[in-house]
């Protein structure tokens, strides 16, 4: 069975500091991995996705994530946080089935 674990339900960083949001997955077959962002009272917006073409994936708004098979991880990073990055971030895994499995989310707070 596939699953996703997001470490840290809340993360706070200072504006301009590195953002690191952690995601570990469990899958018996090569997974497809996604990061979505959800702003208050909105739906989910795709940030980036891993589909085995490259282990380092670049997404929108300066975010990127690196797939590490040996660590079963797909952590999301951004070199310099901006106030507008404050939101909830969800990691998701999908295999050749009909659904995505989402983590419980990490709420990012950016401090001025």
Partner 1 sequence: DAGVTQSPTHLIKTRGQHVTLRCSPISGHKSVSWYQQVLGQGPQFIFQYYEKEERGRGNFPDRFSARQFPNYSSELNVNALLLGDSALYLCASSLGPTGGQNTIYFGEGSWLTVV
Residue 50 Cα distances to 2, 24, 27, 84, angstroms: 16, 13, 14, 24
Min separation Cβ 101 and partner 1, Å:
7
Min separation Cβ 43 and partner 1, Å:
4
**Burial level of 44, CB count in 10 A (0-12/13-18/19+)?**
middle
The answer to whether 91 and 3 have CB atoms below 8 angstroms apart is: no
Hunting for tokens 């670049």 — which residue is that? 58
Binding to partner 1 (CB under 8 A) within 4-63 occurs at 32, 34, 36, 42-46, 49, 51
Min separation Cβ 2 and partner 1, Å:
11
**How many of the chain's residues bind partner 1 (CB under 8 A)?**
24
> Which CB atom, from 24 or from 102, has the smaller least distance to partner 1?
102
The answer to whether 26 and 3 have CB atoms below 8 angstroms apart is: yes
Binding to partner 1 (CB under 8 A) within 63-102 occurs at 90, 92, 94-102
Min separation Cβ 15 and partner 1, Å:
25
Hunting for tokens 């990691």 — which residue is that? 91
Residue ranges that bind partner 1, judged by CB under 8 A: 32, 34, 36, 42-46, 49, 51, 90, 92, 94-105
């Amino acid at each position: 069975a596939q699953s996703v674990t997001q470490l840290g339900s809340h993360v706070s960083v200072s504006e301009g500091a590195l953002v690191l949001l952690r995601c570990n997955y469990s899958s018996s077959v090569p997974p497809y991995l996604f990061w979505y962002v959800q702003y208050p009272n909105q739906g989910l917006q795709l940030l980036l996705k891993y589909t085995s073409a490259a282990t380092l994936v670049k997404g929108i708004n300066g975010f990127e994530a690196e797939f590490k098979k040996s660590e079963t991880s797909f952590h999301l990073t951004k070199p310099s946080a901006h106030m507008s990055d404050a939101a909830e971030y969800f990691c998701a895994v999908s295999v050749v089935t009909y659904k995505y499995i989402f983590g419980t989310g990490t709420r990012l707070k950016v401090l001025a």
